[in-house]
Amino acid sequence: MGAVQTSQRCSTFSFAQARALVGDLQKPNPLIYWVDFLCSIIGGHLAFHAMYFLPRWMPESPYLWPALALSYATCVILYMRAVMFIHELVHLPKEGFKAFRIAWNALCGIFLLVPSFLYYPHVDHHRRKHYGTEHDGEYLSLSHHGPWMIVGFILQALIIPFLGVARFLIISPICWVVPGARQFFHRHASTMLVDPFYRRDDLTPRIHRTIILQEALCFAWCVWFLIRGGIMRGEWIDPIWGIAYAVGVGLLIINEVRTLGAHRWTGTGEEMSFEEQLLDTVNYPHAPWISELWGPIGTRYHALHHLFPSLPYHNLGEAHTRLMKGLPEDSPYRFTVAPSLTSEIVALWKRSWSSMSRKPASV
């Protein structure tokens, strides 16, 4: 059911009523953030290195491939969880979490070539006037294009790891020495986004200083990563490169599938009303033992997050329970709940196919 059709059966959403139900859940708990992140990233690093050393430790063992598969799955799941803290960094209070931001970049952002500056424009996705428009870099009108766009959205995972290396190994030095290059690449190649035509425009002096520092660290990491198996070890191909690529592709595919289910993508590029925006986002409260794997750090409660962006991820489950109990039966919020990620992606695929039949044939 489309968001517009559903909105005709809903009452008007009351912010005051919702805020009264969850207002006491706004304070983040630093201990939860630190323990969750450190366990995730350290566990991910251990699983990553296990894939490198297992063939040397047990080359003839019949359990080698099962062990490698388990290590790969563990690595991707834990890295996914660690990476998604980048979403929290945008919404956390500026005071009191400086050390956490530094630790996240040092242990995760730089290592995986996703430093936090790439995600600063996420705030545009939460601006009422920007959501779903050309000013929102995290939105595409997928329901109004053919399925080829959905397929391409997933398959881009195969090339993004190479683009990430090129961004910091090649483009960063160009920005440092070529006048005018910084402005161009900041607009077109400095954002984690969904819409490839999004233009970033926030190059303040403070952000510029942060970018240069994080770029320099990513550049140094890329250089080290490439020469450690070549010049330093006398090998033309380092096995760890293949492991890193496989992990990167796995991470990206999971995140892209998650993203496909985060919205219903019914917007057409025009400004949407608040109720339309709410009905265009999705919550997955069911089967947390599965949904928490592909939608960690609160991302499975995407509609709730759009309502209250500052709610810490560890309180979203409790907030959702209170809203479902306390809001009216015809509240638009209830229509944000989906039974499963699969059902929403299938519905998106059907809307996409339907949109093709509505388009006039070209002459």
Radius of gyration, CA atoms only, the chain: 22
23-48 mean pLDDT: 97
Split at pLDDT 50, 70, 90, the class of 362 is very low
- Reply yes or no on whether the pLDDT at 235 is more than 80: no
Phi, psi values for residue 264, rounded to 5°: -100, -10
pLDDT at 231: 64
- Reply yes or no on whether the pLDDT at 5 is more than 50: no
Of residues 361 and 251, more confidence is placed in 251
CA distances from residue 5 to 141, 207, 263, 279, 352 in whole angstroms, order as listed: 17, 42, 16, 10, 17
Instruction: Name the residue among 203, 220, 207 with its Cα closest to residue 168.
Output: 220
Average pLDDT across the chain, whole number: 92
Percent of the chain exceeding pLDDT 90 equals 84
Q: What is the pLDDT of residues 82-130, one digit of tens each?
A: 999 999 999 998 888 999 999 999 999 999 999 999 999 999 999 999 9
Split at pLDDT 50, 70, 90, the class of 1 is very low
pLDDT at 228: 78
* Cβ atoms of residues 41 and 107 within 8 Å: yes
271-287 mean pLDDT: 94
278-296 mean pLDDT: 96
pLDDT at 355: 83
pLDDT at 229: 64
Q: How far apart are CA 167 and CA 189, in angstroms?
A: 7
pLDDT at 7: 46
Least confident residue range of 121-125, 153-157, 353-357: 353-357
Residue with tokens 């109004």: 144
Split at pLDDT 50, 70, 90, the class of 153 is very high
Q: How far apart are CA 205 and CA 187, in angstroms?
A: 15
214-231 mean pLDDT: 88
- Reply yes or no on whether the pLDDT at 332 is more than 60: yes
* Cβ atoms of residues 324 and 334 within 8 Å: yes
Q: What is the pLDDT of residues 26-38, one digit of tens each?
A: 999 999 999 999 9
Total Cβ atoms within 10 A of residue 104: 24
- Reply yes or no on whether the pLDDT at 236 is more than 80: no
DSSP 85-139: HHHHHHHS-SSS-HHHHHHHIIIIITTTT--GGGGGGGGGGG-TTTTTSTT-TT-
Total-model pTM: 0.93
pLDDT at 363: 37
In the chain, what are the domain boundaries? 116-347
Q: How far apart are CA 303 and CA 70, in angstroms?
A: 32
